[in-house]
Structure 1
Amino acid sequence: MLHPEPEPGDTLSTSTAAPTARDRRRWAQYLVNERAEARVYRQLAARREGEEREILLALAEAEGRHESHWLTLLGGEPARLPRPDTGTQLLGLMAKRFGSIFVLALAQNAEGRSPYDDEPFATAAMAADEKIHHEVVRGLAARGRRRLSGTFRAAVFGANDGLVSNLALVMGIGATGATPQLVLFSGVAGLLAGALSMGAGEFVSVRSQRELLEATEPSNYADAALPHLDLDANELALVYRTRGLTADEADARARAVVETAHAADRSTPYQLPVEQGGDHEVVGGAWGAALSSFLFFASGAIIPVLPWIFGLSGIGAVALALLLVGIALMSTGAMVGLLSGAPPFRRALRQLLIGFGAAAVTYLLGLLFGVQMG
């Protein structure tokens, strides 16, 4: 069977040995995977515009070149093809139903596990392409992470704080031998206290940050004095030096501003050109941040209390609370791992151990106090 001719500057790494049936099955798997990945990139491109769309389409085109390589080795379209591997199928499903940030995070991991480095029938250019694809997808995912980072951080922090703190609270109260009604009351009180604290803290934080930005913005206090400044000796240069310009740059800027002010109509108040101030939109609104923090915390804190809300008690309520919180902790941990390009299961397990560790401490303390009170 003929192998593809190498392109200029490319070195074929394909084996000269006669291909076996096992080789052909492996090529067919590569073929369907490349097709599926190209389809994912085209689906993502359909939702994007501008530069990101062009980049995604270029990635799909590159996967198409790899597909052609395996088609050539197979001697045309096989009569039967395997399914894409599990990871590639998952990418395809997510590309149809979820935002691009999740898909790109998964694709980043997939591109980093290319088998072509050790594949004797792949070209050196194909192996190099996969490494470059990994960096391209990492860059695209990084853009999405930056857009998502503020809201996502608040959501994960608030929900996990509610999960862990209220689980620890109900475990500790329950371990003392308290009645189910007291455990439920403690859980609801913990939810409200924690959510209100989170909301109030976020309100104060954002409002204070906006006030600090407003205090550091340039003002028009000295605008009326500009036309009366001496052209050759004026303190306006000092203003620009406080804003980070060098002495020479500040002198040149001040001279230009004063010349403009002298030439302006004296009947119209002249305004000093305003330098870039604080970006209030980046900080966001205090009430919106407070409400979001309240809801994120409450959404997590309600989960440990659900068994008692529905009338369960004793070991059954404790077991169900641990199960529900465990699922929630592992879900948020996996999502953090997915978006950060790290192994989702490892992050999920870390989140679970942290939450259950805190609950174990308060449970043991509750047992201790329960024994002493008994």
Structure 2
Amino acid sequence: MVVMSPSATPDEREGRSAAPAQQAPSREQVRRWRRYLADERAEGAVYRHLASRREGEEREILLGLADAESRHEQHWRDLLGDQVGRVGKGALRTRLLGWLARTFGGVFVLALAQNAEARSAYADDEDATDAMAADERVHGEVVRALATRGRARMSGTFRAAVFGANDGLVSNLALVLGVGATGVPAGTVLVTGVAGLLAGALSMGAGEYVSVRSQRELLEASIPDADAHDSIPALDVDANELALVYRARGMAPAEAEEHAAGVLAQVHAGEGMPPSAVVHAYEEIGNGWSAALSSFCFFASGAVIPILPYLFGLSGLPAVAVAAAMVGLALLGTGAVVGVLSGAPPLRRALRQLAIGFGAAAVTYVLGLAFGTTMV
């Protein structure tokens, strides 16, 4: 197969140049094009799987992305010609993404797809068109916007679960290792760990309750008086005190005067008052007790892991090693989830979470050793 260079002159395209035409693609090119073809096919399948779980506008957007991947797929088919061969299954991460899309869907898959689009190599590949490279960059923004919608719809309870569990993991591991390093009996370490679990979980629950109640009370203090709405018809049209309300809410003076005049004119014309003339909606805040209970459970679910080895009779270095290993796996998991939710590379966030957690635990362990040596 002969592939003409995109920059070829008319004479070269007609075969009349003195220089020979570009030779058939190399084996490396064919391998790369086949890999691109397989990846585009797999990515299109991801978007179609995601679309099957949605309706309306989001479904149409995802199907549009799938169609774009099909165009890219055709580009590589055209270049390969009769060397297409058997189309592969795509990169492992793309196949994993497809399985997640078929099985779960949701914001996690969209966030991973966002990262996948950002890794496109088309911008640096001379065999991909500029339009394809631009498509991939724009696809990343489309997926980012869809993922942002999903993140906004996600319950704050789930985010609290990740961060609450992480707090329990780190704080109780640090406590258990610090106390255990002093050389006290395993029973004492276990009692300390259970006390740390209860103290931390109760503190988290109480803090969450106070936080939610305080936020609720602050917002309730900001909600306009409903009786003020009934006073509008009696306002002096010439003085137009209503404009001051809108200015206090952030409108520019001219805009506030115009808006207030329109409201008063509508009222005095007998058309009634718009529902937002004075009163407007405020964000609904969750229940303080449910938030407190959730925080208690999330913290406890993380804090129980470091004391599990002691519950099963381990002591000394074996207990420390098992506790650290179990907490390490849990920290990697929570870090990866945080990475996915934030649209960042999950592995990097997982390793960062692990480093922070183990760093805190290491400091307390060293201090425990120092205190243990001093007491001896």
Alignment TM-score, normalising by the size of structure 2: 0.86
Cα distance in 2 for residues equivalent to 1:294 and 1:51: 39
Q: Post-superposition shift, 1:273?
A: 3.7
3-state SS, counterpart of residue 154 of structure 2: helix
Q: Post-superposition shift, 1:106?
A: 1.8
Equivalence for 1:198 = 204
Equivalence for 1:9 = none
Segment of structure 1 superposing worse, 185-194 or 225-234: 225-234
1:229-248 matched pairs, under 5 angstroms: 229-233=235-239, 235-248=241-254
Equivalence for 1:275 = 279
Q: Post-superposition shift, 1:248?
A: 4.4
Matched, 1:326 2:319: no
Alignment TM-score, normalising by the size of structure 1: 0.86
Equivalence for 2:154 = 148
Cα distance in 2 for residues equivalent to 1:199 and 1:135: 38
| Aligned residue identity for 2:368 | G
Deviations 1:67-92 (A, max 9, x none): 12222233358453333111211111
| Aligned residue identity for 2:202 | L
- Equivalent residue pairs, number: 363
Corresponding residue to 1:46 among 48, 52, 75: 52
Deviations 1:288-328 (A, max 9, x none): 21111111111111111111111211111110000000001
1:158-197 matched pairs, under 5 angstroms: 158-197=164-203
5+ residue gaps, structure 2:
7-12, 14-20
Q: Post-superposition shift, 1:229?
A: 4.1
1:92-111 matched pairs, under 5 angstroms: 92-111=98-117
Cα distance in 2 for residues equivalent to 1:219 and 1:5: 73
Equivalence for 1:302 = 304
Segment of structure 1 superposing worse, 226-235 or 204-213: 226-235
Deviations 1:128-155 (A, max 9, x none): 2222222222222222233338344322
Segment of structure 1 superposing worse, 106-115 or 142-151: 142-151
Cα distance in 1 for residues equivalent to 2:137 and 2:94: 17
Cα distance in 1 for residues equivalent to 2:35 and 2:231: 77
Cα distance in 2 for residues equivalent to 1:115 and 1:333: 27
Corresponding residue to 2:289 among 287, 293, 298: 287
3-state SS, counterpart of residue 177 of structure 1: coil
Deviations 1:181-218 (A, max 9, x none): 11111111111111111111111111111111111111
Q: Post-superposition shift, 1:235?
A: 3.9
Kindly report the root-mean-square deviation, in angstroms, between the aligned alpha carbons of the 2 structures.
Answer: 3.0
Cα distance in 2 for residues equivalent to 1:144 and 1:332: 19
Q: Determine if contact 2:157/2:294 at 8 Å carries over to the other structure.
A: no
Question: Percent of pairs identical after alignment?
Answer: 64
5+ residue gaps, structure 1:
7-11, 265-270
Q: Post-superposition shift, 1:261?
A: 6.2
Instruction: Provide closer, same or farther for how the CA distance between residues 76 and 289 of structure 1 changes in structure 2, counting only shifts above 3 A.
Output: farther
Equivalence for 1:348 = 350
3-state SS, counterpart of residue 75 of structure 1: helix
Cα distance in 2 for residues equivalent to 1:62 and 1:190: 54
Equivalence for 2:18 = none
